[in-house]
Structure 1
């Protein structure tokens, strides 16, 4: 037992299958964790960008009345407490936004484009005051809160984050189960060897340490096999999402903290496997003596 005690337990190579099982589980766990972190960051960025944002829409068909109501609505809300900013959206900007759908006609002066006023609000009370002022100044106008318009998207992102977190938790639990089964199988396969070791004076803790080292080596092998492909896939998907030009999808990123978290997952797997193996072997040995 002086050179490499773990060789005593290496006769049964069937335990090496655990390394491949852990590799697959770690691969899926890293992908789930990356998805959860990305959607959580996107949900936070969406909430931050839409918080306190609203648009007053004056869609009256008569251009003179539309301009008059837009001016009245702007004047009514600009001086209200809790309104940080109120500014009309230039018609040229609206034409640019409509360009992909209307083409050259988007710049037609006769095109009945609604008048829009962007408003930054300090709180919900300010939103109520703005809505009341708009109703009085421009009965044909309406106010759209950006957060309400994309509430479904925010809920979806939050749900995806919860699902991803649940998947990560389930994979960690499954990892513990795989290690537990592998430890039990190793204990049964080496029962005679363990009896000899006990006869020579080895304690349960010493025997458990041998199993822990062997299972930890298998876990390290599985972590190496599963981690590098998973991180490569995450990096590739991140590059593709960043190049799509979508303002929302560009928020689905990991950030430096996210990369640290998913890079730490392989180490968490190895530490979890070693701890579970040690506890399981000590418990089973204690129950059979």
Structure 2
């Protein structure tokens, strides 16, 4: 890689070079800018999905569906006490009635009283809400663990259900995974578009310096020497444009990250980039330069073989 840039000055003058001159560096800058955004989106979705899955994988919810409030309260206390005595269960939390009502209220819509500014407490008087117990297990809640929990509480309540918490948000996780692969697909498409732009630029440079190439051949120059000149020129254009695109993309990512942090709720808190994700983003201009260099070499070598 370092040998690419170690070319005598008199050889480099055979094909004039300019810094950020011509369309090539700017095209690469736009491609890298979009690639950085797409890669950051894919990495953020991947980390968010992984974090949420890890947080919920060891959690389960017990529902006690009983219309009689007195019986429901007694069964809830008995089930909670039984669960606290199990080695499988690390933490047991009985959700207060008000918290359950707050969870359900948005799905019931506004009543006439709610529209006039009153609370929605009255709408729950005639609705038998289940009791909810949130569990944190010592290991992921698989089917085996759920069977153990169901067997333990079945004698205490015949109207109880045990469900993994991860199942409640499974559609959201599936959507996040889909968006992740869409983002990575965009990265692949942008890489192909960048390679296509390099091919066009390489062929245009060959046509522009066709006479110079002929003179170099007459003087004993080899195809490899000629291709190195074009490789170096395009690699420098790609590196300069890539750095510019990465800087612009990083600014946009930081601005969006601060806006997501201000929301301060739920899944948006999980959309962040770890240090290794930032390493991948910083490496994108270098990877773009390598892609441009390899593509230029293949294009130039192929064209030179056809000329001779």
The aligned residue for residue 170 of structure 2 is 151
Whether 2:138 is the aligned partner of 1:119: answer: no
Inter-partner Cα distance in structure 1 for 2:238 and 2:275: 26
Which of 284, 287, 295 is the matching residue for 1:265? Answer: 284
Residue of structure 2 in register with 1:249 after alignment: 268
Structure 1 equivalent of residue 189 of structure 2:
170
Equivalent position of 2:4 in the other structure: none
Cα distance in structure 1, aligned partners of 2:61 and 2:67: 18
Conservation of the 8 A alpha-carbon contact between 2:146 and 2:162: no
Distance in structure 2 (CA, Å) of the matches to 1:273 and 1:250: 37
Partner of 1:179: 198
Gaps of 5+ in 2: 1-6
C-alpha distance after superposition, 1:185-208 (max 9, x if no partner): 211222221011111121111111
Shift of 1:245: 0.8
Task: State the alpha-carbon separation in 2 of the partners of residues 259 and 163 from structure 1.
Answer: 20
Q: Distance in 1 between matches of 2:243 and 2:306?
A: 34
Structure 2 CA distance for aligned equivalents of residues 2 and 61 of structure 1 = 88
State the TM-score, normalized to the length of structure 2.
0.82
Aligned counterparts of 2:179 and 2:274: Cα–Cα separation in 1: 18
Corresponding residue number in structure 2 for 1:24: 30
| Secondary structure of the corresponding residue to residue 60 of structure 2 | strand
Contact 2:146 2:163 in 1 (8 A): no
1:192 aligns with 2:211: yes
The change in CA–CA distance for 1:2 and 1:44 in structure 2 (over 3 A counts) is: closer
Contact 2:36 2:246 in 1 (8 A): yes
CA distance in 1, matches of 2:254, 2:18: 38
- Residue 50 of structure 2 corresponds to residue 44 of structure 1: yes
Gaps of 5+ in 1: none
Aligned to 1:73: 79
- Could you tell me how far apart the structure 2 residues matched to 1:87 and 1:28 are? 46
Question: 1:71: how far off?
Answer: 2.0
TM-score, with length taken from structure 1: 0.86
Shift of 1:140: 2.6
SS in 1 for 2:266: coil
- Contact conserved, 1:92 with 1:107, CA < 8 A, in 2? no
Write the distance in 2 (CA, Å) between the matches of 1:2 and 1:156.
Answer: 54
Aligned length: 287
Aligned mate of 2:15, from 9, 17, 24: 9
2:157 match: 138
The corresponding residue for 2:41 is 35
| Greater fraction of residues in helix | 1
2:227–2:297 contact (8 Å) kept in structure 1: yes
In 2: Cα distance, 1:127 partner to 1:2 partner: 71
Q: What's the offset of the Cα at 1:126?
A: 1.6
Tell whether 2:232 aligns with 1:226.
Answer: no
